[in-house]
Structure 1
Amino acid sequence: MEGDIFTWQKDDTVDDEAFQGEKRKIIQPTSLRDPKLQSLKEALIVWLNRTLKPEHIVVQSVEEDLYDGLVLHHLLDRLAGVKLPVEEIAVTSAAQLHKLQVIVQEVDKQLDLKDSSLIKWNVKLLHDKDLLATIHLLVAMVRHFQPDLELPSNVKVEVLLVEVNKTGIKSDKQIEVLTDESDTSTESCKSSDREDPIEQLLKLDTHRVNTVKKAILHFVNQSVLTMGLQVADMDKQFADGVILLLLIGQLEGFYVPLYDFNLTPVNKSEMLQNVTLALALLNDIGFHVSSIDPQDIVSHDVTATLKVLYALFKKHREGNKTGQEQMGRTLGK
């Protein structure tokens, strides 16, 4: 699209050479109000808050909450297990820029984007709270670290590409793609193919659901038998996090110190602390349970509880082949 040229009388008191050659993309106001863009922003915020819940970090705005590096610092730690040598809280602008520089270098390394044109963010844009750059970065991180996470598809915005040169400011309207366009039927098929086995299970009749729950319950009781424990009600006995923590330690071969959790929780707050710790441990050792809300398990949500237990069941299936085969038959595989 042919750009418009705007010229101005040069002010000799202003050193505009520093701005020459700079290009900036600005989202048009109409696109900012686009429901698809709003939906994408909301989906990213939900993802950020679920991922960072164990860190007690709450993101309210994509535009306002990522500029100082705090959120990205913890996000990289949660997703990639990378602990960077940067200060926790950067107060000054210089400290924030330094922190972002270290973080962005590591993020780019983790994403390993061979085509540099795919990197549509930089330290300055992120620090300037540039919405376009921030969304591009977050979408790239979702695609790399959690490719099964569904984001709104075919999100596009109209942007104004502004370039400063010696003669003036050149502007050019363009369409910027934030998420790929996908055929609806194909996307629906793919979504079905990658749907969580527990989600599939709970769509089946009650008899089949109970059959699989018994198989997982048998696996759990075999695992905690040596500790003198027994689970009779899978929906409720994991709500306080105690048996869940002990089960994780038993299966993964490590000891969770008693002072790290509440062995006899007396209220929901202590239960929530236990379950949050359990999910954090699972995330740290490579289980993909960051989308599960600890509050759901405390509230006896059968879906959330089954997802966690099935993740353990699936990994430690050696010696539990009967249960695996039973699960496969029940889901029609």
Structure 2
Amino acid sequence: MEAETLYNLLQLPKEATPPADEELLQGQKKKYLSPTSRADPKLAELQKVLMEWINTQLHSEHIVVRSLEEDMFDGLILHHLFQKLAALKVEAEEIALTAASQRRKLEVVLEAANQSLQVEELQVKWSVETIFNKDLLATLHLLVALAKRFQPDLPLPSNVQVEMVTTESTRSGLKSKKLVEQLTDCSTDKDQPSKDVFDELFKLAPEKVSAVKEAIVNFVNQKLDRLGLSVQNLDTQFSDGVILLLLIGQLEGFFLHLKEFYLTPSSPAEMLHNVTLALELLKDEGLLSYPISPEDIVNKDAKSTLRVLYSLFYKHKLKESTDGMPCGSLN
């Protein structure tokens, strides 16, 4: 049975959203997303971008999200998504059939996610209770935080705000108040990654791409020769992160223990772990000036791979010789 079919079988019946005029016990509060916000096109666009992102991440596992409210509450998809993004194993029940087991699973996954996100308890805008109760706002806050942590270049719509209505039953009757919550940042031109030289190269001078690749491959092979390694295809041989990590170790003088990465990765998650580690090492050295998603490297995106290798080439080759690159415009 495929994972998508199994997932659909595990879903609980949909719960209707309680009406705003639902009778409340004295002292009880209810929090609702206002109808105006629910109809906001920017909120719909944010949900669409997040769902497409999740479905892309989990495509190989045949998991499809159709509703953030209905599909995320039990921890099943969050479990798969977080493991894929963080490239680590979270020990939680794979199949949770009862509400109690689903809640336990969600608690384990959220604990791991919160640790990875490094958010302080007072700053967390989601909880086991709110996610499990299909609170759309809490779910969105969590997914936006995960996207910003693991794929900062994901084009989330900017300045998405929602209006929340809180109704409380008091001795003097029902009292309501409205509060605006910010879901995504207000972007400016400075927030957007500026086009780099490789955008221009691929767009305006595609005939020079081969020359650039050849120069970088020659440089890489010179550095890897002492390890008995060589690269013939720049587009494919860096996707598992192994050669990239060994190259960084050679150039930057790092000793990478074999326990820190997978020398012979056997799954996309292990490849992602390797590439993520490599990009973190480059960031620590101040070599990456353009945001690069590790998923793009694993998926053999030529432009992203070139950006990473050129950062090393520039530091260790062009600093020695200004005529070492066949494409002068890259200086």
TM class by smaller structure: 0.5 to 0.7
Q: Which runs of 5+ in 1 are unaligned?
A: 11-15, 261-272, 298-303
Quote the residue 1:63 is aligned against: 69
Secondary structure in structure 1 of the residue aligned to 2:58:
helix
Check 1:35–1:216 CA distance in 2 against 1; reply closer, same or farther (3 A cut): farther
Residue 212 of structure 2 is matched in structure 1 by 212
Equivalent residue number for residue 311 of structure 1: 308
Structure 1 residue 140 corresponds to structure 2 residue 145: yes
* Equivalent-residue separation in structure 1 for 2:202 and 2:192 (angstroms): 16
* Aligned mate of 1:39, from 38, 45, 58: 45
Question: CA contact under 8 A between 1:6 and 1:169: conserved in structure 2?
Answer: no
* 1:285–1:279 Cα change, 3 Å: same
Q: What is the match of residue 292 of structure 1?
A: 296
Supply the distance in 2 between the matched residues of 1:255 and 1:115 (Cα, whole angstroms): 37
* Native 8 Å contact 2:238 2:244 kept in 1: no
Which residue identity lines up with residue 185 of structure 2 in the other structure? Answer: D
For 1:249, which of 242, 251, 254 is the aligned residue? 242
Letter of the 2:213 partner, please give it.
K
Q: 1:125 aligns with which of 127, 130, 135?
A: 130
Q: CA–CA distance in 1 between the matches of 2:44 and 2:147?
A: 17
Deviation at 1:41, TM superposition (A): 0.9
1:188 corresponds to 2:192: no
User: Against the structure 1 CA distance between its residues 219 and 125, is the aligned structure 2 distance closer, same or farther, given a 3 Å change threshold?
Assistant: same
Partner of 2:110: 104
Q: Do the aligned residues in 1 keep the contact of 2:27 with 2:169 (CA within 8 Å)?
A: yes
Separation of aligned partners in 2, 1:122 and 1:324: 55
With over 3 angstroms needed to count, the CA separation of the structure-2 counterparts of 1:307 and 1:323, relative to structure 1, is: farther
Change (3 A) 1:277 1:95: closer
Equivalent position SS for 1:292? helix
Pair 1:305–1:206, CA change in 2 (3 A): closer
Q: Which amino acid aligns with 2:242?
A: G
Residues 153-189 of structure 1: CA deviation (Å, up to 9, x unaligned): 111122222334566543223322211223xxxx223
Q: Larger deviation: 37-46 or 308-317?
A: 308-317
**How far apart, CA to CA, are the structure 2 residues paired with 1:277 and 1:108?**
20
Unaligned runs of 5+ residues in structure 2 are 1-19, 247-261, 280-291
Please give the TM-score of this superposition, normalised by the length of structure 1: 0.67
Correspondence for 2:79:
73
What do the CA deviations read for 1:301-323 (whole angstroms, capped 9, x no partner)? xxx22323543564687765579
Question: Percent same amino acid among aligned pairs?
Answer: 36
Matches of 1:293 and 1:284, distance apart in 2: 9
CA distance in 2: counterparts of 1:324 and 1:96, whole angstroms: 60
- 1:202 corresponds in structure 2 to 202
Alpha-carbon distance, 1:152 to partner: 0.7
Number of the residue aligned with 2:232: 230
Say whether residues 1:159 and 2:164 are aligned partners. yes
In the alignment, which of 280, 296, 299 is matched to residue 272 of structure 2? 280
- Report the number of matched residues: 281
Q: Distance in 2 between matches of 1:196 and 1:24?
A: 49
**Greater length-normalized contact order (CA 8 Å, ≥ 6 residues apart):** 1
Residue type of the partner of 1:123? V
Q: State the 1:62 CA deviation.
A: 1.6
Equivalent runs, 1:256-271 vs 2, <5 Å: 256=264, 260=266
Task: Give me the whole-angstrom Cα distance separating, in 1, the residues matched to 2:30 and 2:328.
Answer: 56
Question: 2: CA distance between counterparts of 1:162 and 1:101?
Answer: 28
Offset at residue 70 of structure 1 (A): 1.7
How far apart are the structure 2 equivalents of 1:88 and 1:127? 17
Q: Which amino acid aligns with 2:182?
A: V
Q: 2:282 corresponds to which residue?
A: none
| Pair 1:201–1:62, CA change in 2 (3 A) | farther
Distance 2:66 2:189 in 1: 30
Distance 1:286 1:228, change over 3 A: closer
The offset of 1:140, in angstroms, is 1.9
Match of 1:301 in 2: none
| Corresponding residue for residue 265 of structure 1 | none
The offset of 1:134, in angstroms, is 0.4
Q: Which residue of 2 aligns with 1:330?
A: 329
